[in-house]
Structure 1
Amino acid sequence: MPPLNNQNLPYPDTMHPVVVHFVIAMVFFAYFCDITGYLSRNHRMFEVSWWNLVLASVAIFVAVIFGQIEAALAQPYPAAQPALNWHTINGWSISGILVAITAWRGIIRVRDPLKVPVVYLGAATFLMCLVCLQIYLGNLVDWVYGLHTVPVVEAMKQGLLK
């Protein structure tokens, strides 16, 4: 493994936030397109939603992999551990739910590309709530606990955070 930099990473900066923000944007936009398509009866919005979900379902696993690598390298101190644990559990849960909803959306698309059932929109709303929770947990890990920031890494190396 290459040497770690001053952020405890083998590469220049964290990759997880970059990839995960891409996923979040695609999931939010897919949801927006489904709601807009449902309310306006514009079936073209359903097609946009579908392709966003497909790409998000692939990209989320890249985000989870980088997240796991970066969490392992973070050496979290005890105060940060609960937020990081919940962020990890919720991230894996979202990846499974996102793939399941994408598969369900694919079946809906094949059966009737001009409609989306209300129950699907309810499940998509639940997914959006989980994504919002994940955003909150990610903000805790980054902005409150400062994992992979230079001052926190330095404090860890000096034994100031235990």
Structure 2
Amino acid sequence: MSALPLNSQNLPYPDPLHPIIVHFVIAMVFFSFFCDVVGYFTRNVRLLEVSFWNMFVAAIAIFMAVIFGQFEAGLANIYAAAQPTLNFHTIMGWSLAAIVVAIAAWRLVIRNRRTQKIPPAYLGAATFLICLMFLQVYLGSKLFWVYGFHVEPVVEAMKRGVSG
């Protein structure tokens, strides 16, 4: 059995899927937070419902983002300078998956109580989640823009033996 052929980005498919999925998750979590904050201050129950469903879907999709991230990181040409950032990004990814699921579960409990508002403690936890998401976005951006993970010229240079 032979391995799948890799393209110029060192992937067995046309483009990296991790960024596509992860941007979907980021948008869902941020929109959920936005709806919660606006819903909290306006007492708009519909926004709280939108927030719940966004967080619920994000809790499922984040695992796909982490799995594709792990797969694509395994195919990347990793050099010593990038390793600490990749390790931290990986730990943060799995941690965020657990935190998003916990927050979504908390949100489900709040929703099932049929309350017309969400507790301030939940908003505090959601704010903490948003801060962690910003950190994770920074780390992922650094892996792409600074270290060139799955960027064609960097992949080609690594294949020719040039390393950082």
Q: TM-score, normalised by structure 2?
A: 0.96
Question: Alpha-carbon deviation of 1:111?
Answer: 1.1
Aligned counterparts of 1:113 and 1:155: Cα–Cα separation in 2: 57
Match of 1:153 among 141, 152, 155: 155
| Residue equivalent to 2:95 | 93
Matched residue type, 2:100: L
In 2, the alpha carbon distance for the partners of 1:9 and 1:85 equals 20
Count of residue pairs brought into register by the alignment: 162
SS in 2 for 1:123: helix
Percent identity between the two aligned chains: 63
Q: Give the alignment's Cα RMSD to 1 decimal.
A: 0.9
C-alpha displacement of 1:128: 0.3
Residues 106-143 of structure 1, C-alpha deviations (whole Å, 9 max, x = no match): 00111133110000000000000000001100110001
Separation of aligned partners in 1, 2:115 and 2:133: 26
Residues 65-124 of structure 1: CA deviation (Å, up to 9, x unaligned)? 110000000021111111111111111110000000000100011113311000000000
| 2:8 corresponding residue in structure 1 | 6
Tell whether the 8 Å contact from 1:9 to 1:73 is kept in structure 2 after alignment. Answer: yes
Specify which of 56, 59, 64 is matched with residue 61 of structure 2: 59
Partner of 2:125: 123
Residue aligning to 2:45 = 43
Contact 1:50 1:106 in 2 (8 A): yes
Ranges in structure 2 where 5+ consecutive residues have no aligned partner: none
Distance in 1 (alpha carbons) for counterparts of 2:16 and 2:108: 33
Residue 158 of structure 1: CA displacement? 1.4
2:143 to 141, 144, 155: 141
2:75 maps to 73
Determine the C-alpha separation between the residues in 1 that align with 2:115 and 2:36. 12
Spell out, residue by residue over 1:19-78, the C-alpha distance to the aligned partner (whole angstroms, 9 max, x if none). 000000000000000000001111111100000011101111111111000000002111
Instruction: Quote the Cα distance in structure 2 between the aligned partners of 1:155 and 1:83.
Output: 20
Correspondences of 1:10-21 after superposition (within 5 Å): 10-21=12-23
